Structure 1
Amino acid sequence: MSYQTLQTLLDDNIYTIIINRPDKLNALNRTVIEELSAAVDEVYKSDKIKSAIITGAGEKAFVAGADISEFLQLDGTAGEALARKGQEMVFDKIENCPKPIIAAVNGFALGGGCELALACHFIIASSNAKFGQPEVNLGLIPGYGGTQRLTQLAGKNRAMQLMMTGEIISAEDAQQYGIVNKIVAPVELLNEVKKILNVINTKAPLAIAKVIACINNFDHTQQGYDFEMKKFGECFDTADAKEGAAAFLEKRKPVFSGR
């Protein structure tokens, strides 16, 4: 299947999905979400695919966030619907996939990009990777599961600090916080992930699927994600969200009013 915003490659039962918008730092937009959904469906359906990799084109970014221009006209209802659609079409689908999907993070993984990496079963990062949930700079919060998945990996205190400050952290800090499994040189990134998947691919597929299902089921309910989607949507009814998006697109610092 051909895609407008993705490149895909199947080699030795490993399906590599490359988000291919390097001029936009691989930012997520509606088309990327729809095509990622279709590509992940291929992972579910194809007997030729035993595991998958998600990465970004170029050296600068895995995914540097969402396409902010798509936020400008959203109100609370539309904002919540956007988050729910993305979760159902991509993020939850990745997390619950019975085949391993690994994030190979090269460069910036910010906002929705960080959430995309967090939805994968684990993360291998290049030494130049950067992670962050800077949505507060736009008067928003993470809407694709970030408040839930980051807390599970990094713990409540780290997650609170990262999401309230919007701080961008290095690959080394992300590894220390439990977000990243391993750091390698950029040129070694895909080969390292494939090496790990080649080991996993020798194991019993049904057992791997049950490992994923059991780990995801550990103290894990939909309630937290539903609450996040609702609060994400509510942000779009605020003046601060409008100001945050406008300031981003105008390349200036936002002036928040608390309204």
Structure 2
Amino acid sequence: MSYNNIISEENNGITTITINRPKKLNALNTETIQELHEAFNDADTDTDTKVIIITGSGEKAFVAGADISEFSDFDVSEGTQLAAKGQELLFNFVENLSTPVIAAVNGFALGGGLELAMAAHFRVASDNAKLGLPEVSLGVIPGYGGTQRLPQLVGKGRAMEMIMTAGMIDANQALSYGLVNHVTMQDELLPLCEKIAAKISRNSTIAISAAIRAINANFKDGVDGFGVEVQEFGNCFGTEDFEEGTTAFLQKRKANFPGK
């Protein structure tokens, strides 16, 4: 599929989606959000894709935020709809994908950019990355899940400080907060993400999807995460991947998972 604002490429079971608006520091406008939804959906339903990497083009920014020019004159109703539609189309959608998503944070990840990175299943940052939620400096709050996911990842106190000050933290501080899993040099960012993705790809895609659902259940109000884990664990016993994995273990060989 052809896109105006992103590039999506699959290679060796890894689909890399690159937000390609370098002159706008890869800011998210409505068209880009729609294209990202389509690209993520296509990758998630592609049986060849085992892992998705999301990153930004250029050396300056992952995503420097939302495209403010699109909504600076919105009223209450339009602002509410903007957040609701964005969460449904992209941010909640990514978080709940069956395919693992790694955010390769290659520079500024601000506002909607950090919210997109947090919607991914985990994050790897280059050493020049700067992360923050500056929305209150514009008279608004994070609207794409930032007030919910940031406290889950770094704790309530740190999230309160980051959001209230509208400040940025560097990659090493993000690492100490647990906001990113790894920090590396910029030219090593995608190779490291691809190395991690290759490790993931060797495992059962069926079991990984079940693990994503079970982990996410712990963060949903009114959902018994332990109960979801029990159910997902039991469901695994009915899969071809379970049969292959246990047989390979007993035969002392590497498993060749069919993904069924």
In the alignment, what sits opposite 2:96?
96
Counterpart CA distance in 2 for 1:213 and 1:165 is 33
Counterpart CA distance in 1 for 2:201 and 2:222 is 29
Q: How many residues align?
A: 223
In the alignment, what sits opposite 1:115?
115
Runs of 4+ in 1 over 4 A off after TM superposition: none
Cα 1:88–1:51 shift into 2, 3 Å:
same
Aligned ranges for residues 140-219 of structure 1 at < 5 Å?
Answer: 140-219=140-219
1:51 shift after superposition: 1.0
In the alignment, what sits opposite 1:50?
50
Give the SS at the match of 1:53. Answer: strand
The one-letter code of the counterpart of 1:120 is A
Counterpart CA distance in 1 for 2:119 and 2:151 is 12
Counterpart CA distance in 2 for 1:27 and 1:81 is 19
Give the alignment's TM-score, normalised by structure 2. Answer: 0.84
Give the SS at the match of 1:98. Answer: coil
1:91-119 CA deviation, whole Å, 9 max, x = no partner?
A: 11110001101000000000000000000
Question: Any stretches of 5+ residues in structure 1 without a counterpart?
Answer: 224-259
1:3-52 CA deviation, whole Å, 9 max, x = no partner?
A: 00001111001000000000000000011001000001112211111110
Q: Does 1:84 align with 2:80?
A: no
1:222 shift after superposition: 9.0
Give the SS at the match of 1:103. Answer: strand
Give the SS at the match of 1:125. Answer: strand
Give the alignment's TM-score, normalised by structure 1. Answer: 0.85
In the alignment, what sits opposite 1:11?
11
The one-letter code of the counterpart of 2:78 is A
The one-letter code of the counterpart of 1:11 is N
Greater Cα shift, 138-147 or 40-49: 40-49
Cα 1:73–1:138 shift into 2, 3 Å:
same
Counterpart CA distance in 2 for 1:69 and 1:62 is 19
Asked which structure has the greater CA Rg, the reply is 2
Aligned ranges for residues 2-81 of structure 1 at < 5 Å?
Answer: 2-81=2-81
Question: Any stretches of 5+ residues in structure 2 without a counterpart?
Answer: 224-260
1:221 shift after superposition: 3.0
Counterpart CA distance in 1 for 2:44 and 2:221 is 22
Give the SS at the match of 2:10. Answer: strand
